[in-house]
Amino acid sequence: VTLYARTIEAVADYVKKNNVKRVVVMTGAGISTAAGIPDFRSPKTGLYANLARLNLPYAEAVFDISFFRQNPRPFYELAHELYPGKYRPTISHCFVNLLHKKGMLLKAFTQNIDCLEREAGVPGDAIVEAHGSFATQRCIDCHTEYPDAKMKEAISKKEVPHCAQQECGGLVKPDIVFFGEALPEAFHRNRSLPAQADLAIIMGTSLTVQPFASLPSFVQEDTPRVLINLERVGGLGSRADDVLLLGDCDEGVRKFADALGWREELESMWEK
Ligand code: OAD
């Protein structure tokens, strides 16, 4: 046991005294709700609770590859709302960038497809977008890439884009990982990194979707794991060095920054 108490102040103390520099961050939709993007599973506000208008057989079908093949419309209805560009990173995203700036970030694993980590300044090679992103797109049949500008146009018009290759005409889909598809190679290449972490921070995720949900279990037993989330998830809190900050993640991140003496720096990064 490395912490003297299961408080965020004790974690901050541990960070300062142990020259912590291999922080692994694992995030989900909850860190972007303050930016105006709904999460998936929150009971009233989550995306899955608000899809009735799309007439889906079940909510997650909107991100299911076999369903998409039959009916891509519901996804493109949603893509119109979720497409990056109109949202600004939250203070939680900035906190990840601050860790990077201090040379302490080993990797930021995100399930989010909104690209807000990049927008906050975290470099691409420090991020693993485990569920892909809207950054690129391709044909689901011949896998030919599709131009960004044409994709943008299709999404803004709520049209379903089709492959431009002769005799293909397959459906085009952003490189978001749908249910029934493999995770990016970068996820598999990096998935054992949590075992090398000297601190793990888990924020804004229900930890319900595998294999991402298993990442926190790869963190060594004696390495502190901090959960900053509205609810307790993934069995966090079961280890002696787990610290739970249950509540809004921006609030939690500010509390952590206060304890680390980073608050002013964090706020000024966010205001820029
Ligand atoms: P979920 O919607 O499943 O979980 C979001 C978590 O964040 C919940 O535990 C919320 O309580 C919490 N939360 C929401 N707002 C918060 C806030 N302001 N502060 C703190 N906590 C907050 O989202 P994910 O875990 O990201 O996959 O979902 C995982 C995957 O399921 C997604 O990547 C997506 C979805 O199907 C694909 O589409 C492939």
Report the C-alpha gap between 4 and 30 in whole angstroms: 29
Question: Phi and psi (nearest 5°) for 218?
Answer: -80, -10
Nearest CA to ligand 1 atom 11: 230
Question: Phi and psi (nearest 5°) for 213?
Answer: -60, -15
Please state whether 115 falls in left (phi above 0), alpha (psi between -120 and 50) or beta: left
**If residue 117 lies in a helix (H) or strand (E), which one and from where to where?**
helix 116-119
- The string of pLDDT tens digits covering residues 154-170 is 999 999 999 998 899 99
Two structure tokens written together for 35: 């930016």
Is the confidence at residue 2, as pLDDT, over 90? no
Contact 14, 3 (CB under 8 A): yes
Q: Measure the CA angle with vertex 127, ends 85 and 9; round to 5°.
A: 105
**Choice from 230, 245, 246, 251 to test ligand 1 binding pocket (greatest atom count within 8 A of CB):** 230
Amino acid 33: pLDDT: 97
Contact 230, 203 (CB under 8 A): no
Q: Report the pocket of ligand 1 as residue ranges, CB < 6 Å.
A: 28-30, 33-34, 39-42, 46, 60, 63, 111, 131, 177, 204-206, 208-209, 229-231, 233, 248-249
- The string of pLDDT tens digits covering residues 187-202 is 999 999 999 999 999 9
Contact 170, 178 (CB under 8 A): no
Amino acid 89: pLDDT: 96
Q: Measure the CA angle with vertex 139, ends 135 and 141; round to 5°.
A: 145
> Tell me, what's the ipTM?
0.98
Which amino acids are annotated catalytic? 131
Over its C-alpha atoms, the chain yields an Rg (Å, rounded) of: 19
Contact 226, 8 (CB under 8 A): yes
- Coil, strand, or helix at residue 105? strand
Tell me the whole-structure pTM to 2 decimals: 0.96
User: How large is the average pLDDT for residues 48-76?
Assistant: 94
Can you list the positions of beta strands (E) in 34-192? 105-110, 127-129, 132-139, 172-176
Contact 122, 105 (CB under 8 A): yes
Average pLDDT, the chain: 95
Cis previous bond, 57, omega within 30: no
Q: Compute how many other C-beta atoms are within 10 angstroms of the C-beta atom of residue 21.
A: 14
